[in-house]
Amino acid sequence: MNDFSSYDKNSMDETIKEYRVFLDSFRLQATNAINSWETYKKLQLEKNLFNEIFSRKRAINTFNIIQFSLIQSTWIALSKLWDSKTRDKNNVRFSMIYTILKPNSFYLRFCDKYGNDYEDIKIDLQNKISFFVNTYDKYINGHKQHIYIELKNIRNNYLSHANLNETLKYSHTMDELDEFYTDSIRMLEIAYSIFGVVISLSDVCDIRQKDAESFVNILRRLSKP
């Protein structure tokens, strides 16, 4: 991995090209998170309906298994986005993007390339870089670090491995996980924009919300006498 603490425009240009390709792997994990979390949220919001539908029925066990699978899928997808570097492998991790943005090298390359032109775009770029860097810091070593640490522990001790002396435990709320999820999706959207690729993960979120709403409405109609 290149050291971006000093500015080298040729190295930076090559890295930008590489990262545009890497982002597709990030998008895959984000999509997994969107699919599972948006569905899980809707099921939780309608839990009174489902408790009524499945009251005193064995089907409630299957429904609970589905919900637990969805939250596990959300945990693992978000954990991959916030992963640490795997030894001898170039795995998906937000720290890759943070490393290139934090020293200001990327912004300097943009300014060097366009000179005194596109001042509005430069301001927008600065704001997006600041959001990504500040949000990353908020979870890695800031006031929201506890949720990052919890997801890391859940993945390492429960999802990826089965440690004999560990049980699943966490204290983060659904609202905290939703904030972490929302920030993560926004960070990736911004990363795409910074590297000159247009994508709207928000549209994918909207689609999955509507899919979940349709699913709930069908069950609601079927449950009526």
Token couple for 179: 């904030």
Rounded to 10 degrees, what is the CA torsion of 34, 39, 41, 43?
-170
The Cα 28–Cα 149 span in angstroms is: 23
Q: What is the pLDDT of residue 3?
A: 47
The confidence band for 70, taking pLDDT boundaries of 50, 70 and 90, is: very high
Is there a contact between 19 and 193 (Cβ–Cβ < 8 Å)? Answer: no
What is the pTM (predicted TM-score) of this model? 0.89
Neighbouring CB atoms inside 10 A of 116's CB total 7
Neighbouring CB atoms inside 10 A of 59's CB total 10
Q: What is the pLDDT of residues 18-38, one digit of tens each?
A: 888 889 999 999 999 999 999
Q: Would the CA dihedral through 164, 73, 183, 101 be positive or negative?
A: positive
Token couple for 108: 């300097």
Q: In the chain, pLDDT over 90 holds for what percent of residues? A: 56
The confidence band for 15, taking pLDDT boundaries of 50, 70 and 90, is: confident
Rounded to 10 degrees, what is the CA torsion of 159, 167, 39, 186?
-70
Domain locations along the chain: 9-223
Alpha-carbon distances of 101 from 134, 197, 222, rounded to whole Å: 11, 16, 52
Alpha helices in the chain (DSSP H): 9-45, 47-53, 59-81, 94-101, 105-114, 119-140, 145-154, 174-194, 201-223
The Cα 170–Cα 180 span in angstroms is: 15
Token pair 């890695």 is found at: 140
18-22, 48-52, 108-112: least confident range: 108-112
Whether 7 has a pLDDT exceeding 60, the answer reads: no
Residue type, 121: I
Q: What is the pLDDT of residues 118-137, one digit of tens each?
A: 788 888 999 999 999 999 99
